[in-house]
Amino acid sequence: MNAKEQITALIIEDEEPARSIIKHYLDKHKSVKLVGECADGYCGLTSIKELNPDLIFLDIQMPKLTGFELLEVLEEKPEIIFTTAFDEYAIKAFDMNAVDYLLKPFSENRFDEAVEKAIIRIRKGESTTSKIQKLAIERVEGSTPLNRIVIRKGNAISFISVRNIRYMEAEDDYVMIYHTAGKALKQQTMKYYERNLPSDEFIRIHRSYLVSIEHVGRIEPYGKDTHIAILKEGERLPVSRSGYKKLKEKINF
Amino acid sequence: MVHPILSKRRRLLVYWLIWLLIGLGQSLLITFSSDISVAASFTDGFLSALIFAVIAVALWFPVKQFNTSRNSILMEILNHLAMAFIVLGIWVFLTKFLVLMFLQDKPSYQSFWANSIFYRLGAGAFIYAVVMLTYNLMISIENIARKNFREAKLENMLKETELMMLRSQINPHFLFNSLNSISSLTISDAERAREMIIKLSDFMRYALSRKEDRTVDLRTELENLRLYLDIEKIRFGERLVLEEDVQEECLRVRVPNMILQPLYENAIKHGVYESAEAVSIKLIAKRVNGAISIIISNDFDPECIPAGGTGTGLNNVRRRLELYYGNRAWLKTKKEESVFTAELYIPEQADIKL
């Protein structure tokens, strides 16, 4: 990127006063040009596609699509400066991944510092995609269990409620989610879902299978030492020995 | 633990009366069952009772000692056997010694004493057992009473701490976002920024106050709630629409302070946070036979699956109502199409337990 060229920036933040303070601070940075503002995550997603900004200011807690969910479904990640009021787990995640963030309310000095650093990285052409990707797919231990999973199909965003998930199957680097209204593929690990879905509702019955207890119909022995779980809808899933032990602790049969 | 007999005058009187009866009983028994003189019978009967009475008072101290120290059952049995042996020994020999001091016809009493020694030991063992049982029973009763007292005190303390914790849970998200809004306002509208700082301060003072009087009238509660809502209004602007319909006569009714704020916070969280469109929150307060009913309803997007939220806010309100009113107050919530309603029911005349 040429040094004379302006850097384009997008603000994704649901509260108007919070947007206006960023705009105010940004006014003094002549090399940065604000190209758009969004009040929710959906708008953020389409605007990123449309405007392709170099830098985004991203709030975490937002209507429709949270900042983290937006990251999950973004393919190309621009340089991001996160803003948050109070979220211990988000802050922990930022620190762990060495990602810059602003704690509201923030001073002009702190803002300038973050923007200047971002400008340097953009000018150098450093890609942050891998770092941000890690942030998006790793939830800090102790975070509250997931309640929904965001799915992107082309330009459409949809959610699967955790309550509607029947089971998950590992497929290389992906996880196939079977839910009450179909199935969806996510680039994610089983370990992630095992850790972040409510542990009293989901059991990892096998290296490749995570099942919702509610949807298990019955368990039958299968060969020597192993079992199979037969779901209410009829699917037969293998149960490993340790998976069987976990199942036995959770349900009486 | 003080001595159960010596510490109370009335108990001491009863104690002596019992021993007097025992003495009389023994005297009559000896008179009719032996051939020694009536005088000798009564001297023996009463003196032996008197001696045992004194020993029994003293026995309290070792019993208390046994009870406070933790011994094995075997040790306990050995302790009691040794003590019984000593007590009975002292008793029979001291009785003989003292009775002989008062009597003329010593040889006939001596032979009677020797003949009756097994009856004496038997009777002594029985009395000893009764004394021990009584003392242990007293200790147990006192221990239970003390435990109950301690538990009641602890429960009260827990209740107070719990109420304190349940009450002052101001969401840090609210605080820091408000401060950020103020920070923004200082640039565009310093006057409004100052106004907002004052509102935030007043609200925080109300939320954090630890007054002994934990209930306020609804008027005060609503005034402070408006401070909170004014602040939220600056954050959310047109996205937050507020309506209020409160019957005048509800305003005097006392409610726990900060009981409405969590309900509004919940409405904002699920209504405003999750929606980019305007969300209206409506409050209706009216009297219903001896109670007030406060209904807070908000629009929400039924398609939206909330990103999280653990329901702590509403649970805290429920728990507080329970601690204040038992089962005479309640909170009901319901979801209908795109409206979420929380109804708070609080009795007007409430003898609050704390």
DSSP codes joined into one string, A5-44: SPEEEEEE-S-HHHHHHHHHHHTT-TTEEEEEEESSHHHH
Burial of B164 (C-beta count, 10 Å sphere; 0-12/13-18/19+): exposed
CB neighbourhood size of B250 (10 A): 21
Q: At what angle do helices B312-325 and B106-167 cross, to 10 degrees?
A: 140
Query: Does any domain span residue A2?
Result: no
Q: Is the ipTM of this complex over 0.90?
A: no
CATH homologous superfamily of B168-347: Histidine kinase-like ATPase, C-terminal domain (3.30.565.10)
Residue A13, min C-alpha distance to chain B (Å) = 11
Mean pLDDT of B164-181: 82
Q: For residues A136 and A142, what is the distance between their CA atoms, to the nearest angstrom?
A: 16
Residue B247's pLDDT band (boundaries 50, 70, 90)? Answer: very high
Q: Do the chains contact at B275 and A20, CB–CB below 8 Å?
A: no
pLDDT digit string, tens, across residues A61-81? 888 888 988 988 888 888 999
Question: Is A198 part of the contact surface with chain B (CB cutoff 8 Å)?
Answer: no
Beta strands in A172-250 (DSSP E): 174-179, 182-187, 202-206, 209-212, 216-222, 226-231, 236-239
**Per-residue pLDDT at A1 exceeds 50:** no
Residue B210's pLDDT band (boundaries 50, 70, 90)? Answer: low
In a shared domain, residues A78 and A98: yes
Name the residue of chain A whose CA is nearest to B183's CA. Answer: A105
pLDDT at B153: 84
SS3 A49: helix
Number of domains in chain A: 2
Mean pLDDT of B167-172: 74
Query: Does any domain span residue A142?
Result: no
Q: Do the chains contact at A17 and B234, CB–CB below 8 Å?
A: yes
Question: Is A28 part of the contact surface with chain B (CB cutoff 8 Å)?
Answer: no
In a shared domain, residues A50 and A92: yes
Residue A226's pLDDT band (boundaries 50, 70, 90)? Answer: confident
Q: Do the chains contact at A105 and B234, CB–CB below 8 Å?
A: no
Mean pLDDT of B248-268: 90
Name chain B contacts of A62, Cβ cutoff 8 Å.
273
Instruction: Answer whether A232's CB lies under 8 Å from A211's CB.
Output: no
Q: Do the chains contact at B180 and A147, CB–CB below 8 Å?
A: no
In a shared domain, residues A13 and A57: yes
| Cα–Cα nearest to B203, from B238, B178, B173 | B178
Query: Does any domain span residue A178?
Result: yes
The side-by-side arrangement of strands in the sheet containing A165-171 is: A182-187, A174-179, A165-171, A209-212, A202-206
CB pairs under 8 A between A and B: 80
Nearest-by-Cβ selection for B276 from A21, A39, A106: A39
Q: Final residue of a domain: which of A116, A137, A158?
A: A137
Residue A76, min C-alpha distance to chain B (Å) = 24
Q: For residues B7 and A239, what is the distance between their CA atoms, to the nearest angstrom?
A: 72
**Per-residue pLDDT at A19 exceeds 70:** yes
CB neighbourhood size of A4 (10 A): 6
Look at chain A and count its residues.
Answer: 253
In a shared domain, residues A122 and A162: no
CB neighbourhood size of A78 (10 A): 22
Name chain B contacts of A85, Cβ cutoff 8 Å.
172-173, 175-177, 180
Task: Check residue A213 and report its DSSP letter.
Answer: G
Nearest-by-Cβ selection for A63 from B188, B276, B309: B276
**Per-residue pLDDT at B213 exceeds 60:** no
We report the CATH number of the domain holding residue A180 as 2.40.50.1020
Q: For residues B12 and A31, what is the distance between their CA atoms, to the nearest angstrom?
A: 98
Q: Do the chains contact at B183 and A105, CB–CB below 8 Å?
A: yes
Q: Which residues of B touch A (CB under 8 A)?
A: 172-173, 175-177, 179-185, 187-188, 234-237, 272-276, 304-310
Output the CA angle A70-A74-A78, nearest 5 degrees.
100
Mean pLDDT of A203-224: 90
pLDDT at A50: 93
Higher pLDDT, A101 or B8: A101
Q: Do the chains contact at B306 and A148, CB–CB below 8 Å?
A: yes
Residue B212's pLDDT band (boundaries 50, 70, 90)? Answer: low
pLDDT at B350: 61
CB neighbourhood size of B282 (10 A): 17
**Per-residue pLDDT at B33 exceeds 90:** no
pLDDT at B5: 83
pLDDT at A139: 76
Q: For residues A134 and B9, what is the distance between their CA atoms, to the nearest angstrom?
A: 81
Q: Are strands A148-153 and A101-103 parallel, antiparallel or unpaired?
A: unpaired
Nearest-by-Cβ selection for A17 from B173, B180, B304: B180
Task: Check residue A233 and report its DSSP letter.
Answer: T
pTM of the model: 0.69
**Per-residue pLDDT at A85 exceeds 80:** yes
pLDDT at B185: 93
Query: Does any domain span residue A118?
Result: yes
How many CA atoms lie within 13 Å of B226's alpha carbon, on the beta-carbon side? 8
Q: For residues B164 and B325, what is the distance between their CA atoms, to the nearest angstrom?
A: 16
pLDDT at A250: 81
In a shared domain, residues A115 and A218: no
C-alpha to C-alpha distances, B232 to A22, A86, B161, B200, B269, nearest whole angstrom: 19, 16, 29, 10, 11
Mean pLDDT of A5-31: 94
pLDDT at A149: 92
CB neighbourhood size of A253 (10 A): 7
Instruction: Answer whether B44's CB lies under 8 Å from B99's CB.
Output: yes
In a shared domain, residues A190 and A215: yes
**Cross-strand pairs, B300:** none
Residue A252's pLDDT band (boundaries 50, 70, 90)? Answer: low
Share of chain A above pLDDT 70, in %: 98
SS3 B76: helix
The residues near B150 (Cβ < 8 Å, ≥ 6 apart) are none
Interface probe with B: pick from A13, A14, A144, most Cβ of B within 10 Å: A14
Q: Which residue has the tokens 């509004």?
A: B264
Q: Final residue of a domain: which of A118, A137, A156?
A: A137
In a shared domain, residues A14 and A130: yes
We report the CATH number of the domain holding residue A94 as 3.40.50.2300
Question: Is A15 part of the contact surface with chain B (CB cutoff 8 Å)?
Answer: yes
**Per-residue pLDDT at B144 exceeds 50:** yes
Q: For residues B55 and B90, what is the distance between their CA atoms, to the nearest angstrom?
A: 9
State phi, psi for B304 to the nearest 5 degrees: -80, 130
In a shared domain, residues A39 and A20: yes
pLDDT at B352: 56
Q: Do the chains contact at B184 and A17, CB–CB below 8 Å?
A: yes
Mean pLDDT of chain B: 87
Q: Final residue of a domain: which of A79, A104, A137?
A: A137
In a shared domain, residues A37 and A133: yes
For residue A232, what are the domain limits? 148-250
Query: Does any domain span residue A96?
Result: yes
State phi, psi for A216 to the nearest 5 degrees: -80, 125
**Per-residue pLDDT at B351 exceeds 70:** no
For the ranges A118-132, A210-224, A233-247, B191-205, which has the lowest average pLDDT?
A: A118-132
In our burial notation (b when 16+ CB lie closer than 10 A, e otherwise), range B315-342 reads: ebbbebbebbbeeebebeeeeeeeebbb
Nearest-by-Cβ selection for A20 from B179, B184, B305: B184
Q: Which residue has the tokens 């997008």?
A: A10
| Cα–Cα nearest to B348, from B286, B292, B293 | B292
Higher pLDDT, B165 or B237: B237
Question: Is A39 part of the contact surface with chain B (CB cutoff 8 Å)?
Answer: yes
Instruction: Answer whether B223's CB lies under 8 Å from A2's CB.
Output: no
pLDDT at A110: 95
Nearest-by-Cβ selection for A15 from B177, B187, B306: B177
Residue B79, min C-alpha distance to chain A (Å) = 49
Give the range with max mean pLDDT: A144-148, B23-27, B70-74: B23-27
Query: Does any domain span residue A1?
Result: no
In a shared domain, residues A92 and A182: no
Query: Does any domain span residue A229?
Result: yes
Instruction: Answer whether A247's CB lies under 8 Å from A167's CB.
Output: no
In a shared domain, residues A161 and A70: no
pLDDT at B168: 59
Residue B73's pLDDT band (boundaries 50, 70, 90)? Answer: confident
Query: Does any domain span residue A143?
Result: no
Mean pLDDT of B244-248: 93
Interface probe with B: pick from A11, A12, A13, A15, most Cβ of B within 10 Å: A15
Mean pLDDT of A143-169: 89
pLDDT digit string, tens, across residues A159-209? 999 999 999 999 988 999 999 999 999 988 898 899 889 988 999 999 999
pLDDT at A130: 77
Name chain A contacts of B173, Cβ cutoff 8 Å.
61, 85-87
In a shared domain, residues A246 and A181: yes
SS3 A96: helix
pLDDT at B16: 92
pLDDT digit string, tens, across residues B86-103? 999 999 899 888 888 888
The alpha carbon torsion through B316, B322, B328, B332 (nearest 10 deg) reads 30
The residues near A124 (Cβ < 8 Å, ≥ 6 apart) are none
| Cα–Cα nearest to A190, from A171, A215, A166, A165 | A171
CA B324 from chain centre, in angstroms, equals: 15
Residue B291, min C-alpha distance to chain A (Å) = 37
Name chain A contacts of B274, Cβ cutoff 8 Å.
63-64
Name chain A contacts of B181, Cβ cutoff 8 Å.
15, 17-18
Interface probe with B: pick from A61, A65, A149, most Cβ of B within 10 Å: A61
Numbered ranges of CATH 3.30.565.10 in chain B: 168-347
Q: What is the DSSP string of B176-215?
A: HHHHHHHHHHHHH-HHHHHHHHHHHHHHHHHHH---S--E
Q: For residues B284 and B293, what is the distance between their CA atoms, to the nearest angstrom?
A: 8
pLDDT at A210: 95
